[in-house]
Structure 1
Amino acid sequence: MKKVAFYTLGCKLNFSETSTLSRIFQERGFEKVEFTDTPDIYVINTCSVTDNADKKCRKVVKEALKHSPNAFITIVGCYAQLKPKEISEIPGVDAVLGAAEKFQLVDILETFEKKDAPQVHASPVSEVNTFVNAYSFGDRTRTFLKVQDGCDYSCTFCTIPQARGKSRSNTIEKVVAEARSIGDSGVKEIVLTGVNTGDFGLQEGVRVENFYQLIQELDQVENVSRFRISSIEPNLLSEEIINFVAGSQRFMPHFHVPLQSGSNKVLKLMRRRYLRELYAQRVEWIKTAMPHACIGVDVIVGFPGETEEDFLETYNFLNGLNISYLHVFPYSERAKTLALDLPSVVPQKERNRRADMLRILSEKKKRAFYESQIGYEGKVLFEADITDGFMEGFTENYVRVVAKYDPVLVNEQKHVRLTNITAAGLMEAEETYHELLAH
């Protein structure tokens, strides 16, 4: 029995697909092992959102060879679709599979025997037109369930349409069936993932269903306690979706809504499908319907043409918004994107400075959000990871709570009152019948 290990770079969607690949291998008689357990095969699932992700891929390959010098190394994912030849030239790589081939890798590679030259199987992205079901399982308490793939948007900084193809979705019927099956296995929280999750409902380029219909049906899945929406574009986050989540017992008051810039000038250069006024409106709608809701924001700084005035406009816009945390990305040049042709390139040092400023703002926002939650009563779902005798879990609105490890608490929900913020920035809590959880 050959041993196989997996490594995932990138987003929750990638984690769901890696987990599915793992199950495919196990069903075919392979033994899944840890990265350091001298496997016969490595499968590295890549991201290519930033240049740093490309560098990470090379580093993971190098580390794999340290642990198992004779292993067969396979690269899949977005980077594999975008630059298959470049990846095949990385020392130690034996096979590269594109988006249309990655779920057939066991059939394509068969014996996983090394050949004189790396094998490259990467069809044009135009041939990537089918939806493949995927969900994570066994890797952590929460399950990431893929409901949508690909993207029809044309943001000038993004390579994802080139890497994953056009927008396409599972059907509501199949998503609900998968959610019920996942719930039957004991999982209590499902995170809905996709490239452009809110664009759910396209089948062969025709809209037959929509995201609002999907969450209405999932809300009827009784054996799953919690659903989260991983990320949703502001122009697709409708008032009816927000109001539905506000009234739902299963959908959590937690939204991750990409902004990218608080400058309308830069948003237009990026070819985003909204302006800052719409974004501010969405935040207001969420907070009106759910005052305790957590709101996360993606931001790109140092985009070509972004002046210091534009950046400060973004900074002040975010500072004035009632949001909870930021994911900050310095702009990274990506091959074959329209942004490469834009003038007024921002120096890398300046991009990093602006990113640092926003990361400090993020810490302030998160701290203020946590402080506003002290005294709040809700439920924490505890996870299995243990660090220095402590475990962690999340409230419905995504406050990270720390507690002294108790095996009985793993994958269990507890009614708590949030009491105090630790030096590490985590929340302590006590059960509502006053039994201290974290002390």
Structure 2
Amino acid sequence: MIDVNTFQDKTAAYYTLGCKLNFAETSTIGKMLEAHGIRKVRPGEKADICVINTCSVTELADKKCRQTIRRIARQHPQAFIVVTGCYAQLKPDEIAHIPDVDLVLGAEQKLDILQYLGDLHKQESGHVVTTPTRDIRKFSPSCSRGDRTRYFLKVQDGCDYFCTYCTIPFARGRSRSGTIEQLTAQAREVAAAGGKEIVITGVNIGDFGKQTGETFLDLIKSLDQVEGIAHYRISSIEPNLLTDEIIAFVATSKRFAPHFHIPLQSGSDTVLKLMHRHYDTALFAHKIETIRRLLPDAFIGVDLITGVRGETEELFEESRRFVEGLDISQLHVFTYSERPGTQALKIEPVVPIPERHERCRRMLEISERKLHDFYTRFQGSTRPVLFEQPRKGAPMHGFTDNYIRVEMPYRKEWVNTCRPVRLGDFNAAGDALIATEI
């Protein structure tokens, strides 16, 4: 039993590194602690509890996690420090030996945090509670608003793909998901709270429903019926799981935005095979062509990794040419980082680190051109925009249905409302279009 009196008048600070899924889970942890009397810490206040939700997608991510833990310990010297997330699942003992860490929770324990806080007394060394990755089976629902207008709805967790460069299946376990009934109910709660936009998140969301016999297409059809939501956005979805039927449904749906985020990782079939990806460039090109045919105005973001083991200069050039020829809107480019325990460590040749970064730079140049061209195409057009609460003194901003960032003078009554506006010139920073009321 949890002694509620233990937590009365306690304060907590929350720190999230990594993906949108982590943000959704941190938000859920915050709501749970708040329901038991633990108030979110105010600016400048010292917290009684610090919860750090970590990422481990690259070696740099691990380093940032360690730095964050030490920084938080200095800022909140008497706090009970809890570390969870992917880094905690993969390297719990390493984290437990960082000074001032009191509790390390694995992937399956993350959302049961209340059971492990005890009396909040500081520990001489971190107490570790994890489940072996192969035994992780539990799906824990999460939905977060964060500090912005949009909500993030976790529909799936884990991954069964085991790509050679990736540790996510070891950090999050096998693929599992919620039920359509459960997730649609959460969407209704968002609508009742005044939420206008939901981003559908997960590790491999196209794999939704393996245990329940439901499908991702079934899920989005159900979500589309929830009154009050203006837009849904589908976060990263594997190209082999993005069926033509899903694309066709989005094209005719009431609420799904013309916005796709699809991981390519390499434009070379040879490298895709080395990565153990589940598609080739022909299938990927077909998906882009299908989206453009059915939703010509859609924003298409694409993930790419440069400098993976086995990517020779010739194979990189093959990838670059393929990407140049795709009718996409933006690239999200990552420099390859060796991860312990992955099969990629057996692959030769190894690309020198400076060359990895140079290839990343060249791909980012392509991305900048494509994004600029995409924005330019819609100058002078009218699009719906969901406006967010800006920082004090900053212009009002938001995103069109097809994910073009816009700015305009502040209008308090427009916050968290969807308004049609006319898109004009680029702003001074060149990262948004200036919008005007119509």
Do the two structures share a fold, i.e. TM-score over 0.5? yes
In the TM superposition, residue 363 of structure 1 has moved relative to its aligned partner by: 1.0
Tell me, in whole angstroms, the C-alpha distance in 2 between the residues paired with 1:414 and 1:27. 35
Match of 1:127 among 135, 142, 163: 135
In the TM superposition, residue 139 of structure 1 has moved relative to its aligned partner by: 2.6
Contact 1:35 1:64 in 2 (8 A): no
Contact 1:78 1:160 in 2 (8 A): yes
- Residue 46 in structure 1 maps to residue 51 in structure 2: no
Match of 2:433 among 421, 427, 434: 427
- Residue 264 in structure 1 maps to residue 269 in structure 2: yes
- Residue 410 in structure 1 maps to residue 418 in structure 2: no
Query: In the alignment, what sits opposite 2:41?
Result: 33
In the TM superposition, residue 123 of structure 1 has moved relative to its aligned partner by: 1.6
Match of 2:162 among 144, 154, 177: 154
Tell me, in whole angstroms, the C-alpha distance in 1 between the residues paired with 2:315 and 2:226. 45
Tell me, in whole angstroms, the C-alpha distance in 1 between the residues paired with 2:120 and 2:272. 46
RMSD: 1.2
- Residue 164 in structure 1 maps to residue 172 in structure 2: yes
Contact 1:100 1:127 in 2 (8 A): no
- Residue 231 in structure 1 maps to residue 197 in structure 2: no
Tell me, in whole angstroms, the C-alpha distance in 2 between the residues paired with 1:131 and 1:268. 31
In the TM superposition, residue 386 of structure 1 has moved relative to its aligned partner by: 2.0
SS in 2 for 1:385: coil
Match of 2:149 among 137, 141, 146: 141
Amino acid paired to 2:276: R
Match of 1:280 among 279, 282, 285: 285
Amino acid paired to 1:190: I
- Which aligned pairs between 1:7-406 and structure 2 lie closer than 5 A? 7-34=15-42, 36-203=44-211, 208-386=213-391, 388-406=393-411
Contact 1:255 1:296 in 2 (8 A): yes
Tell me, in whole angstroms, the C-alpha distance in 1 between the residues paired with 2:290 and 2:136. 37
Contact 1:170 1:201 in 2 (8 A): yes
Query: In the alignment, what sits opposite 1:436?
Result: none
In the TM superposition, residue 112 of structure 1 has moved relative to its aligned partner by: 1.8
SS in 1 for 2:384: strand
Contact 1:418 1:430 in 2 (8 A): yes
Kindly tell me the number of residue pairs found equivalent between the two proteins: 429
Tell me, in whole angstroms, the C-alpha distance in 2 between the residues paired with 1:376 and 1:116. 62
Amino acid paired to 1:161: P
Amino acid paired to 1:27: A
Tell me, in whole angstroms, the C-alpha distance in 2 between the residues paired with 1:186 and 1:138. 14
In the TM superposition, residue 136 of structure 1 has moved relative to its aligned partner by: 0.4
Amino acid paired to 2:17: L
SS in 2 for 1:74: strand
Tell me, in whole angstroms, the C-alpha distance in 1 between the residues paired with 2:365 and 2:45. 39
Residues 73-98 of structure 1, C-alpha deviation per residue, up to 9 Å, x if partnerless?
A: 11100110000011112222221100
Contact 2:408 2:436 in 1 (8 A): no
Query: In the alignment, what sits opposite 1:437?
Result: none
Amino acid paired to 1:320: G
Amino acid paired to 1:75: V
Residues 163-191 of structure 1, C-alpha deviation per residue, up to 9 Å, x if partnerless?
A: 11111110011111110111100000000
Amino acid paired to 1:322: D
Tell me, in whole angstroms, the C-alpha distance in 2 between the residues paired with 1:380 and 1:418. 10
Query: In the alignment, what sits opposite 2:6?
Result: none
TM value normalised by structure 1: 0.96
In the TM superposition, residue 277 of structure 1 has moved relative to its aligned partner by: 0.8
Contact 1:146 1:192 in 2 (8 A): yes
Tell me, in whole angstroms, the C-alpha distance in 2 between the residues paired with 1:20 and 1:349. 40
SS in 1 for 2:188: helix
Percent of pairs with identical residues: 52
Tell me, in whole angstroms, the C-alpha distance in 2 between the residues paired with 1:198 and 1:261. 20
Amino acid paired to 2:103: A
Query: In the alignment, what sits opposite 2:5?
Result: none
Tell me, in whole angstroms, the C-alpha distance in 2 between the residues paired with 1:360 and 1:112. 50
Contact 2:23 2:146 in 1 (8 A): no
1:185 and 1:120, CA in 2 relative to 1: closer, same or farther beyond 3 A? same
In the TM superposition, residue 36 of structure 1 has moved relative to its aligned partner by: 4.8
Tell me, in whole angstroms, the C-alpha distance in 2 between the residues paired with 1:34 and 1:262. 47
In the TM superposition, residue 317 of structure 1 has moved relative to its aligned partner by: 1.0
In the TM superposition, residue 34 of structure 1 has moved relative to its aligned partner by: 4.8
Tell me, in whole angstroms, the C-alpha distance in 1 between the residues paired with 2:108 and 2:146. 25
Amino acid paired to 2:414: L
Tell me, in whole angstroms, the C-alpha distance in 2 between the residues paired with 1:199 and 1:35. 40
Tell me, in whole angstroms, the C-alpha distance in 2 between the residues paired with 1:168 and 1:278. 25
Amino acid paired to 1:429: A
In the TM superposition, residue 315 of structure 1 has moved relative to its aligned partner by: 1.2
Residues 112-159 of structure 1, C-alpha deviation per residue, up to 9 Å, x if partnerless?
A: 211222111112112210111101035321000000011111200111
Contact 1:386 1:405 in 2 (8 A): no
- Gaps spanning 5+ residues in structure 1: where? 433-439
Tell me, in whole angstroms, the C-alpha distance in 2 between the residues paired with 1:48 and 1:165. 14
